[in-house]
Amino acid sequence: MPRIELRTEIKADKEIVFDLSRSIDLHKISTEHTNETAIAGKTSGLIGLNESVTWRAKHFGIYQKLTSRITEFDRPNYFTDEMVSGAFSEFKHEHHFADLNDGTLMTDFFDYKSPFGLLGKLADKIFLDRYMTDLLTERNRIVKEFAESDNWKQILTG
């Protein structure tokens, strides 16, 4: 099962980074290029333990639906979301947050299994690993951008 690990240093309080990372509204901003929309479950605000969201997005020219649920939650240290249904055979995304100097170290562990057996493993190597890394990197860039400015206030207080 492929694993993507990302570490992002953010000059902001851990609580702000944690809440931005679980914001449905900020996720929509970070995935505008895929036309991602929350269509069921928790569709705005902050997602929490045992809540789920169903996303509709365009990937590789095809609209897809993916439902994930928050299965672990310890504010402001970590949370985990896992796929309930969607294009992958399975995925688990762990979000960890640690104090670092005057800010936060945000660490993502994204484990996934592609469908279609050997064909899926080939797709992982050829393009899917890079595609998923790029999606997560863009998401983290947006979290960092909002957390390090006053823009976080429009997401978390508005």
- What is the greatest pairwise CA distance in the chain? 47
CB 55 within 8 A of CB 40: no
Share of the chain above pLDDT 70, in %: 93
DSSP H or E run through 108: strand 103-113
pLDDT band at 115 (very low <50, low <70, confident <90, very high): confident
Question: Distance between CA 81 and CA 62 in Å, rounded?
Answer: 23
Question: Distance between CA 106 and CA 77 in Å, rounded?
Answer: 9
Average pLDDT over residues 89-117: 92
Average pLDDT over residues 80-89: 90
The pLDDT of residue 87 is 79
Q: Is the pLDDT of residue 116 over 70?
A: no
Strand partners, 62: 59
Average pLDDT over residues 104-115: 92
Tokens linked to 131? 């595609």
pLDDT band at 62 (very low <50, low <70, confident <90, very high): confident
Contacts of 54 (CB under 8 A, 6+ apart): 38, 39, 40, 41, 65, 66, 67
